[in-house]
Homo-oligomer: A and B are copies of this chain.
Amino acid sequence: MTITEVNPNDPRVVRTRQLIIDAFVDLLGKKDFYSITVSDISKQATINRATFYAHFTDKFALIDRFLSASFIEFAHKRVNQYSELTEETIQSIVITLCEYHEISQKLCRRNYEAIAPHVEKNIKVELEHMILQIMIKDCKDTDEDTLRLAANILTWSIYGVTYRWNIEKRSETPQQFAEKILPILRGGFLD
């Protein structure tokens, strides 16, 4: 655990992190996550190994941050903060998560099941935040603690069920799957 604090706005820092991420993505296309070494990443990124450790604790922290950032970017394209908590929005979230799992698994080859647990926490935090923002805006008469609880439950439900959809067969498209589970979710979450 080093991470000598660097200024994240320094252009050198921005560039270095991008080099690391680009190298990492490139290597993920060729090798298993577990056979990629920090040396590999550093070489590919044309940076020194010590510099890697100035930015990330280890390669788990790297994939963690990378997949979290990917999810945030991905999700914000589909569900913006001005959405309302309609069935359509919930569907969008379900579909987004399905597609996110698909993409991540493809990117990480056959290692996604091993990697997902490292990232799961961040994704859920972000997802819950998104859902909570929509709820707060949409249900101004309900107290926030209750909304937090509801957002938490909805988040875990959707994450869990889409994760399962992904590692199992994926016999349906995300769209079909979303339509199928929406009645189940509606039972409790929507007024």
Contacts and interface: CB of A to CB of B under 8 A. Distances in A.
A46 interface: yes
Nearest to A11: B46
State how many copies of this chain the complex holds.
2
Contact of A46 (B15, B46, B47): B15
Contacts of A46: 11, 14-15
A11 B14 CA distance: 18
A48 interface: yes
A89 B130 CA distance: 68
Contacts of A48: 11
Contacts of A14: 46
Interface in A45-59: 46-48
A5 B83 CA distance: 56
A46 B47 CA distance: 16
